[in-house]
Homo-oligomer: A and B are copies of this chain.
Amino acid sequence: MNKYNSLDKTAANHSALTPLSLLQRSAQIFPAKRAVVDDDRSLSYRELYQRCCQMGNALRCRGIKTGDTVAILCPNSHEMLESHYAVPMAGAVLNSVNIRLDAATLSFILAHGEARVLFYDTQWENLVEAAIAEFEVPPLLVAIERKAGVSEGLADLDYESLMMEGDPGASWQRPSDEWDAITLNYTSGTTGNPKGVVYHHRGAYLAAMTNAMVFDMTAETVYLWTLPMFHCNGWAYTWAITAVGGTHVCLREVDAMEIYRRIEDFGVTHMCGAPVVMNMLLQDLGREGVTLSRPAHFALGGAAPPSSVIRKAEEIGFHITHLYGLTETFGPATLCVPQQEWQQLSLEERAVNMSRQGVPTHGLDEVAVLDIANGQPLPADGNAMGEICIRGNTVMKGYLKNPEATEKAFRDGWFHTGDLAVMHPDHYVEIRDRAKDVIISGGENISSLEVEEVLYQHPKVSEAAVVAMADEKWGEVPCAFVNPVDDGEEPTAEEIIAFCRERMAHFKAPRKVVLGELPKTATGKIRKNMLRDSLPR
């Protein structure tokens, strides 16, 4: 106890951090400004705020209580954006569900999360019907009737009718505690049941602020939703764009020329996405020979951009930033902050630097590479491989109703990512592999990512994945699965193996190459477990 401690928190100087306040602020400052564009609909910040207050009130009137779950199954749209505010305004927790799931998984999620309401786009009415077929008490079913038209009888009511039950002038309550849950996001694990990652108001506010900052966003920002909002709440950009008073431009389906048109029509400044989106953009826009009239920033999450991608992107007019994160870290945990002196480097050298996962955002305290054996930090030598571990305020509350997984993920005071990486001397982390994807060949570790990076340099390779294949002599050897580029002569296995052997230690080069399409999860990750299972044991 010291003389400063007697000054207590009061209503004047302490309130729960929540991204809901950011919408309220933008509605006050930019009432008439376009908050969201969704095809032929457009809402100002005043309208967006009022609709969220109204829907929040309607949910309360329907008996939704603090800590209840409200699920949504919907593409990027104003309803989807609204739900990120309206549901927490009612004190409830938003569970935004991946639209590419099968009925069994959707059923599991709705049951596990105990969803009391489900907003769904009628495009997925059959899926929803199948998912809830065996529910004794199904959630209140609220149809979002857009492209696919009205509900064919499954819905209890439609979205706009539910909203009309609320009072647009209703106020909302801040969470009583900023540690309260705001959203629930199920991971798309490649094996087992998905885990329900719970976000807190505190982290969501901080992620919104820091994600706006790391990307230099301002009130002039126009953000195109090439990233699904159901991915970690759009990497917290559902809240970050609102924080700066920027404009959300919705995109229901990813289509390169449609993206190009929206960039030009709305003056898009920023967008995010997975490599698969960037690749498609580069291929399709490159083929059409179009370039952007103004440069746009593209934050690429989930895979290192090879030099060929950086070059093509810059030719078309995209500035690429490389991000890394997980559902458990509200999306972005690190970004590859470009250093001024990199401008002087050759494209290849720049690509090497930019391909690293980088440094922590302001919301985190530390991103460390820890020795798997003893949990101690490894030297920052770009060589010693350990597990990326993270701590800070933009890490999840934990996994819903799964204390074992929560405890395991948070052991020793760190969130354990399961990703293997090195720490470079400049304190940029670089992922070498998922822990479970390392190939152990004759006692040597082979990073599947390292082999994949070489494969991607081959001009006839569009996508590649490398997994361990059982081998009598070596224990395991690398096997490559390759999806060739569309418009070209198909490569031969021998050609690809020779290409790899020229560029890496021979024991790392694939022993076998399988050509064809690669299986993917609902979020676009290559399902390496399926590739592994396809190989003889």
Contact = CB atoms under 8 A, between A and B. Distances in A.
- Tallying the copies of this chain within the complex gives 2
A151 interface: no
A299 to B, nearest CB: 15
Interface string A451-494: 00000000000000000000000000000000000000000000
Interface in A81-108: 93
Interface string A192-221: 000000100011000001101100101100
Contact of A392 (B15, B365, B414): B15
A371 interface: no
A403 B8 CA distance: 11
Interface in A371-391: 390-391
Contact of A213 (B12, B209, B414): B209
Interface in A209-241: 209-210, 212-213, 216, 218-219
Given A4-B181, A180-B4, A213 B212 contact: yes
Given A17-B393, A67-B4, A180-B4, A12 B414 contact: yes
A391 B15 contact: yes
A56 interface: no
A3 interface: yes
A392 B16 CA distance: 9
Given A4-B198, A210-B209, A216-B218, A9 B395 contact: no
A307 interface: no
Interface string A5-31: 111111111110100011001001111
Which 3 residue pairs are nearest across A and B when measured between Cβ atoms?
Answer: A2-B67, A11-B413, A4-B181
Contacts of A414: 11-12
A430 B219 CA distance: 22
Given A179-B9, A391-B15, A114 B209 contact: no
Contacts of A181: 4, 7
B209 A401 contact: no
A189 to B, nearest CB: 19
Contact of A7 (B10, B25, B406): B406
A67 B5 contact: yes
A297 interface: no
A370 to B, nearest CB: 12
A390 B406 CA distance: 39
A396 B114 CA distance: 41
A300 interface: no
Nearest to A180: B4
Contacts of A219: 337
A73 interface: no
A17 B392 CA distance: 9
